[in-house]
């Protein structure tokens, strides 16, 4: 390989792409609920930035009503992902289902929220101690 060939190869900036699953995770949406064209292609960094800056209607609707991936469900309920599992929640939930769970306030949810509050309190204590 000559220096000229090497130079020609490095002069082009490659476009960073990611799998749809990675992009969905970064967008905070459940991949299986996204449009087929999103699931079947690749997403460039520029496309991801554009989706975050100016979300299309399908993305706004997914974020509003779900179904939501487990990390989002956990955050909306104020519990850990492990807490969801202990509570028997293994599938994505819609916003309506999450609101219903909050209204029902089953024992497992009350317990897991208390556990999560203790974890947060301990994290603050440790952070203060390390200062």
Based on the number of CB atoms within 10 Å of its own CB, is 58 exposed (0-12), middle (13-18) or buried (19 or more)?
Answer: middle
> Is the separation of the CB atoms in 30 and 68 below 8 Å?
yes
User: For the chain, what is the mean pLDDT?
Assistant: 89
> How far apart (Å, rounded) are the C-alpha atoms in residues 23 and 44?
9
DSSP 81: H
- Whether 82 has a pLDDT exceeding 80, the answer reads yes
State pLDDT tens for residues 12-67. 556 789 999 999 999 999 999 999 999 998 999 999 999 999 999 999 999 999 99
81 close to 112: Cβ distance less than 8 angstroms: no
């Amino acid at each position: 390989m000559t220096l000229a060939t090497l130079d020609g190869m490095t002069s082009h900036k490659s476009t960073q792409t990611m799998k749809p699953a990675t992009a969905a995770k970064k967008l905070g949406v459940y991949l299986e609920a996204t449009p087929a064209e999103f699931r079947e292609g690749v997403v460039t960094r520029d496309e991801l930035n554009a989706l975050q800056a100016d979300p299309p209607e399908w993305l706004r609707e997914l974020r509003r009503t779900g179904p939501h991936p487990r990390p989002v469900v956990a955050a909306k309920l104020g519990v850990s992902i492990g807490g969801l599992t202990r509570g028997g929640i293994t599938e994505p939930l819609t916003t309506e289902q999450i609101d219903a769970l909050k209204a029902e306030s089953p024992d497992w949810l009350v317990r897991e929220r208390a556990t999560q509050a203790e974890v947060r309190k301990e994290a603050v204590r440790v952070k203060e101690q390390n200062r």
